[in-house]
Structure 1
Amino acid sequence: MTEQVLASWNEGPVRQAILDYVERATTPGAAFVEPADRIATFDNDGTLWVEQPLPPQFDFVFRTWEREVKADPSLAARQPYQALLQRDQAFFEGLATQEPEAVASLLEAFARSWAGTTPEEFDAQVREWTRTVRDPRFGVPYVELVYRPMLELFDLLRGCGFRVFVCSGGGRDFMRAFAEETWGILKENVIGSAAGYTYTDGRIVRSRELLGGLDLGPGKPEHIFAHTGRLPAFAGGNADVDVEMLRSAAFALLVRHDDDQREYAYTKGAEASLATAEQLGWTVVSMKRDWTTLF
């Protein structure tokens, strides 16, 4: 491996643990992983890009819902529209920590808002958002707040025969709109909570149905297996909703947000994952200590 591998990672036990695992997995021996089984899966929000003060997808959908409430004021009595109008902090915290009930109400509204649209129409809306909307703290488009060290990890894994997938509780089709240019990952390698589709009059259009349930907690390994026919050899996450995916992998990497200068420092929504990491010996990344640069 060249010295350019994981160039934004400081020398230390975390970087070495990753390199050692990849070496073992690709070298004949007790820990060898057959090429077909070299599946690597990663959460998105908080693992691949900034998720505070709210995951970026919420910025995208909230802008649409504000317009919808103006057009139909009766929506103001329903969640998540009500929380948006009242600036309900408790509801927003539930979204930030990806509490299933809060996320379910969001995804149901999401399905209603875009039911009947084609993939091309939805992609165009997301791409317009990525071009024109900026993160309020950093002042750049959200797609520029992807963690460079994780992209370097993708490169390392792909170079060693792993197929890399993103597996998020967020919207699958939202992520697919920018996956190829932002992560270098094909659309078909993006797994997430998703609406169903119907084929009508020669067109694929979104339905109101949620396909296969939420991609959170146990839903993550369930969706991964349904999508790939395998469970991951390598998995990366940052929160309690990633625990089941991390437990299903041979090598688990947990990103800890402890850099309040370059990003944010918090453990809310990650308490159980940090405790499990200590119990099971997962590799925990300190953003402050292990990464020389973030974005």
Structure 2
Amino acid sequence: MTEKILASWKDGPARQAIVDFVTAVTTPGPAFVEPADRIATFDNDGTLWVEQPLPPQFDFVFRTWAQEVKDDPSLASQQPYKALIERDPDFFAGLGSQDPKVVETLLEAFTRSWAGTTPEEFDAQVREWTGTAKHPKLDVPYRELVYRPMLELFELLQANGFRVFVCSGGGRDFMRVLAEDTWGILKENVIGSAAAYTYADGKLVRSRELLGSLDLGSGKPEHIFAHTGRLPVFAGGNADVDIEMLQSARFALLVNHDDDEREFSYTRGAEASLAKAAESGWAVVSMKNDWATVF
């Protein structure tokens, strides 16, 4: 390992715990992990990029739904369109904390909105959004709000034989558009909630059905195992919906949003995970104290 690894990380317990663990599992001895089993999984929203005031995918989705309500006003009485129009505070609080019931409602509507589209059509819409949409507070494109320290962590793990996966409750196909250019991982290394596809007349099209369960809570290790045939050795998250994934790994890293100058400071939706981290000895990353650079 060189002095340049984790360059945006300040010296401290979190950085040292990462380096010590990677050294241990790649050095012959009692903690050694065979390369085939070196699986690392990370949540996306709030772990790899900003999730306040709302996860970025919902900026993309809400623009589409606003147009749908304009085209069909009867949708205004249905959820989640009704909550969006009325700016229902409980709905948005549930979205910010990734409440499974709220997320499920959104994803069901999401599958309806894009049912019948091909992967190419959907990808083109996401790419158009990434080229124009900006964060409402930070006023820069969302793709510029990926955490540099986490990308450096990806590089460290990959250099030591880990296969890195993103495992999020957000839309798998949305994240896949970003994966290769933004995170430097292949599309097939993205695990998330997804619509089922059908193949007919020589092309794939999205259906109105969700593919399996939501990728939240216990769904995360379930999806990871279904995708890889293994549970992670290293896992990173930032919220209560990541607890089960973090518990399933030998090394758990929890990002704590406590930097209201460079990003945001909040614990809503992370209270249980912070308590579990203290109880279980997980490595907790203070954005304020552990990261010299955020974006």
User: TM-score, normalised on structure 2?
Assistant: 0.99
SS of the residue aligned with 1:47?
A: coil
Within a 5 Å distance, the mapping from 1:250-289 to structure 2 comes to: 250-289=250-289
SS of the residue aligned with 1:127?
A: helix
**Using the alignment, how far apart are the partners of 1:5 and 1:156 within structure 2?**
7
Map of 1:109 onto structure 2: 109
**Using the alignment, how far apart are the partners of 2:206 and 2:69 within structure 1?**
21
Which AA in structure 2 matches 1:262? R
Which AA in structure 1 matches 2:74? S
**Using the alignment, how far apart are the partners of 2:178 and 2:293 within structure 1?**
22
Map of 1:171 onto structure 2: 171
**Using the alignment, how far apart are the partners of 2:178 and 2:45 within structure 1?**
14
**Using the alignment, how far apart are the partners of 2:104 and 2:136 within structure 1?**
26
Which AA in structure 1 matches 2:57? Q
SS of the residue aligned with 1:236?
A: strand
Within a 5 Å distance, the mapping from 1:2-17 to structure 2 comes to: 2-17=2-17
Cα displacement (A) at 1:4: 0.7
SS of the residue aligned with 1:272?
A: helix
Map of 2:43 onto structure 1: 43
SS of the residue aligned with 2:180?
A: helix
**Using the alignment, how far apart are the partners of 1:26 and 1:290 within structure 2?**
24
**Using the alignment, how far apart are the partners of 1:12 and 1:96 within structure 2?**
30
Cα displacement (A) at 1:247: 0.0
Map of 2:63 onto structure 1: 63
**Using the alignment, how far apart are the partners of 1:4 and 1:79 within structure 2?**
49
Cα displacement (A) at 1:136: 1.3
Which AA in structure 1 matches 2:251? F
Cα displacement (A) at 1:78: 1.0
**Using the alignment, how far apart are the partners of 1:230 and 1:25 within structure 2?**
16
Task: Give per-residue Cα distances to partners, 1:130-184, cap 9 Å, x unaligned.
Answer: 0011111111110110000000000000000000000000000000011100000
Within a 5 Å distance, the mapping from 1:1-295 to structure 2 comes to: 1-295=1-295
SS of the residue aligned with 1:185?
A: coil
Count how many residue pairs are aligned between Structure 1 and Structure 2: 295
Cα displacement (A) at 1:74: 1.2
**Using the alignment, how far apart are the partners of 1:261 and 1:15 within structure 2?**
22
Cα displacement (A) at 1:188: 0.1
The alignment yields a C-alpha RMSD, in angstroms, of 0.5
Cα displacement (A) at 1:270: 0.2
Q: Sequence identity of aligned pairs in percent?
A: 77
**Using the alignment, how far apart are the partners of 1:44 and 1:218 within structure 2?**
16
Cα displacement (A) at 1:12: 1.0
**Using the alignment, how far apart are the partners of 1:81 and 1:28 within structure 2?**
56
Give runs of ≥4 in structure 1 deviating > 2 Å: none
Cα displacement (A) at 1:194: 0.2
Cα displacement (A) at 1:89: 1.3
SS of the residue aligned with 2:130?
A: helix
Cα displacement (A) at 1:30: 1.0
User: TM-score, normalised on structure 1?
Assistant: 0.99
Cα displacement (A) at 1:236: 0.0
Cα displacement (A) at 1:249: 0.1
SS of the residue aligned with 1:168?
A: strand
Runs of 5+ consecutive residues of structure 1 not aligned to the other structure: none
Which AA in structure 1 matches 2:244? E
Runs of 5+ consecutive residues of structure 2 not aligned to the other structure: none
